[in-house]
Amino acid sequence: MIRFENVTKRYPSQSHPALEEIDLNIERGEFVFLVGASGSGKSTLVRLAIREEVVTSGRLLVGGHELRKMPQRKVPQLRRQVGTVFQDFRLLPNKTVKQNVAYALQVIGRPRRAIRALVPETLEMVGLADMGERMPHELSGGEQQRVAIARAVVNKPPVLLADEPTGNLDPATSLEIVKLLRRIHDSGTTIVMATHDNVIVDQMQQRVVELEDGHIVRDEIGGSYVPKVVDARDREEREAERLEEDADRPAPPEDPPLGEVHALDDWDDDAEDLLR
Ligand SMILES: Nc1ncnc2c1ncn2[C@@H]1O[C@H](COP(=O)(O)OP(=O)(O)OP(=O)(O)O)[C@@H](O)[C@H]1O
Ligand SMILES: [Mg+2]
Measured in Å, residue 188 CA sits from the centre of ligand 2 at 26
Pairing of strands 215-220, 57-62: unpaired
**Domains held by the chain: number:** 1
CATH code of the domain covering residue 214 = 3.40.50.300
Letter string b/e over residues 52-76, b meaning 16 or more CB atoms within 10 A of that residue's CB: ebbbbbbebbbbebebbebeeebee
The CA distances from residue 258 to 59, 199, 219, 251, in Å, are 15, 41, 32, 21
**Mean pLDDT computed over 154-180:** 96
| pLDDT exceeds cutoff 70 at 276 | no
Range of the domain at 75: 2-234
| pLDDT exceeds cutoff 60 at 137 | yes
Residue 174: alpha-carbon gap to chain centroid? 17
Cβ neighbors of 79 (< 8 A, separation 6 or more) are 50, 51
pLDDT at position 246: 73
Residue 189: alpha-carbon gap to chain centroid? 13
Q: 34: which strand partners?
A: 194, 209
Using one digit for the tens of pLDDT, what is the confidence trace for 48-107?
999 999 999 999 999 999 999 999 999 999 999 999 999 999 999 999 999 999 999 999
| pLDDT exceeds cutoff 60 at 261 | no
Ligand 1: atom nearest CA of 44 is: 18
pTM of the predicted protein model = 0.85
Q: Round the average pLDDT of the chain to a whole number and report it.
A: 89
Query: Predicted confidence band at 230 (pLDDT cuts at 50, 70, 90)?
Result: low
Q: Has residue 80 been placed in a domain?
A: yes
Q: Has residue 252 been placed in a domain?
A: no
From 16, 33, 38, 44, mutation site for ligand 1 pocket: most ligand atoms within 8 A of C-beta: 44
Q: Has residue 264 been placed in a domain?
A: no
Please give the Cα distance from 276 to 69 (Å, whole number): 20
The CA distances from residue 88 to 144, 146, 165, 241, in Å, are 9, 12, 8, 37
Using one digit for the tens of pLDDT, what is the confidence trace for 185-229?
999 999 999 999 999 999 999 999 999 999 999 999 998 998 866
pLDDT at position 250: 66
The residue contributing the CA closest to ligand 1 atom 2 is 11
The residue contributing the CA closest to ligand 1 atom 8 is 44
Q: Has residue 154 been placed in a domain?
A: yes
pLDDT at position 242: 76
| pLDDT exceeds cutoff 80 at 266 | no
Q: Has residue 247 been placed in a domain?
A: no
Q: Has residue 246 been placed in a domain?
A: no
SS (H, E, C) 90-120: CCCCCCCHHHHHHHHHHCCCCCHHHHHHHHH
Q: Has residue 243 been placed in a domain?
A: no
**Mean pLDDT computed over 116-138:** 97
Q: Has residue 239 been placed in a domain?
A: no
